[in-house]
Structure 1
Amino acid sequence: MDAFPSIITALLGGAVTAAQVALGAALIAFGLGLALALLNVFTSVGLVRFAIGAYIEWMRNVPALAHLFLLYFGLASVGVRFSPKAAAIIGLGLVGAAVLCDVFSAGIRALHAGQREAALAVGLTPMQALRCVVLPQMLRLTLPSIGNYASQLIKDTSIASAIAAPEIMFYARSLVTSTFQTPLIYASAIALYASIVFPVSWMFNRMERRLGVGR
């Protein structure tokens, strides 16, 4: 147990990187996913919708680790180099964009078309109707799915250790190799992930209750 403080210190350093990767990936996923969802729902160009659908299917049906390997190892062979952290952020962000595009598209389609038409009828521009009427209601409807995605994303940061991103599992494996205190180290890593995920889940559940989601 004398090594426990140093183990926790190292794992906390990995937790900072995990949080950075999760936040960066979430920003990419949310921005790109929303843009793709709006195109998917409102465009009348069949080729655009086909391309978005193909992107979603590809990203969702190929393991995220394969995308990280392609970004970090594959592109390096043609001269495009990312740091491990950057590759993890981009890879998880692109996968998340496909997930959230589906979520947001379903949320927008769940709204009655008459609401947008009524907003336009009272003088709002299409952008104002989107910003003031469609998006707030869509976000309320999709909040549970966004919360699930956020929790899953934090756990998925563990695969970034496979490309040497210095997150929790990267440090855990390094510590196991050097100290051989396997149960203690991995139990500490699990507890650290839980200490991050549980507050995020609690926050989204509280937001759902305050907004009356499901009622």
Structure 2
Amino acid sequence: MDFQFDILTRASGDLLLGAWITIKISVLSFLLALIIGFVVGAARARSAFWSRITAPYVEIFRGTPLLIQLFFIYYGLPTVGIKLGGMTAAYVGLGLNGGAYIAEIIRGALLGVEPGQEEAALSTGLTPIQALLYVLFPQALRTAVPPLVNSFSALLKDSSLVSVLAITELTRMGQLVYTRTFRPFEIYLAIGAIYLLMTYCVSWLSKFLEHRLSYGR
């Protein structure tokens, strides 16, 4: 079988556009996941009551496939009057799914901070919220950074599932190019290489952040 580079040359613009959309979806969804994860994780670490209240959310989104969650948000919610556009459904689905995993990362990191740190912070006159923001979170972040970056890498790859919502991200763009060229080997090899490059960049960022945090410590 001859490898046809000219197909990739002609399709490069479409694939790069798809990669840009994938990055945009991944970054915005991850920001939403971080907000959800930090709030839920902190609540679960500091309050048994809120831990029980938020447990169903964490268990549901960690225990069911992301694809089913996307289908439910995009196709299921309109039956009860909640209609979301494809991009919005992608952000919400990926954000809620990622937030459930990040919540457990944050909870574990906060519980790993020496309890005496909070007591010392409160003894200086800080409120519990100030102690959490200025004393506990900075220490927990050192532990949480590697798994948080891994979560972003996983979300980046999981973003390929939003192609089922008719969003023309990298995977969907590759499918469209394939229907024009009928050359699956070249197209999907290129798509895999682009995902590999993006996740490698994320891995490099993780090592850089770990080095900086270790240096600061």
Normalised by the length of structure 2, the TM-score is 0.92
Tell me if structure 2 keeps the 8 A contact 1:11–1:189: yes
Select which of 38, 44, 58 maps to 1:40: 44
Partner of 2:56: 54
Whether the 8 Å CA contact 1:116–1:134 is kept in 2: the answer is yes
Name 2:134's counterpart in structure 1.
132
Which of the numbers 43, 60, 81 marks the counterpart of 2:83? 81
> Residues 53 and 201 of structure 1: is their aligned pair in 2 closer, same or farther, counting only changes over 3 Å?
same
Match of 1:9 in 2: 13
* Aligned counterparts of 1:19 and 1:2: Cα–Cα separation in 2: 25
Contact 1:8 1:188 in 2 (8 A): no
1:190 correspondence with 2:166:
no
SS in structure 1 at match of 2:23 = helix
The superposition leaves residues 132-189 of structure 1 with CA deviations (integer Å, 9 ceiling, x where unpaired) of 1100011111111101101111111111111111111101111112210111100110
SS at match of 1:155: helix
Structure 2 residue matching 1:82: 3-state secondary structure:
coil
User: Structure 1: which 5+ runs fail to align?
Assistant: none
Q: What is the rounded CA distance, in whole Å, between the counterparts of 1:67 and 1:75 in structure 2?
A: 11
- The code of the aligned residue for 1:53 comes to A
Among 31, 36, 42, which residue is 2:35 paired with? Answer: 31
Distance of 2:36 and 2:83 partners within structure 1: 22
Counterpart of 2:123 in structure 1 is 121
> How many residues are treated as equivalent by the alignment?
212
Partners in 1 of 2:56 and 2:73 — Cα distance? 19
RMSD: 1.5
Identity over the aligned pairs, expressed in percent? Answer: 33
Q: Is the 8 A contact 1:22 1:153 kept in 2?
A: yes
Q: SS at the partner of 1:36?
A: helix
Q: Which runs of 5+ in 2 are unaligned?
A: none
Of 165, 168, 171, 2:170 maps to 168
Q: Describe the SS at the equivalent of 1:111.
A: coil
* Aligned residue type for 1:61: G
What are the superposed Cα offsets for residues 18-51 of structure 1, whole Å, 9 maximum, x if unpaired? 1111111111110011111121122242xx3223
How far residue 94 of structure 1 moved from its aligned partner, in angstroms, is 0.1
Alpha carbons of 1:128 and 1:187: their partners in 2 closer, same or farther (altered >3 Å)? same
| Distance in structure 1 (CA, Å) of the matches to 2:167 and 2:209 | 32
Give the aligned residue type for 1:76: P
Local SS of the residue matching 1:202: helix
Deviation at 1:193, TM superposition (A): 0.9
Tell me, yes or no, if the aligned pair for 1:59 and 1:95 is still in contact at 8 Å: yes
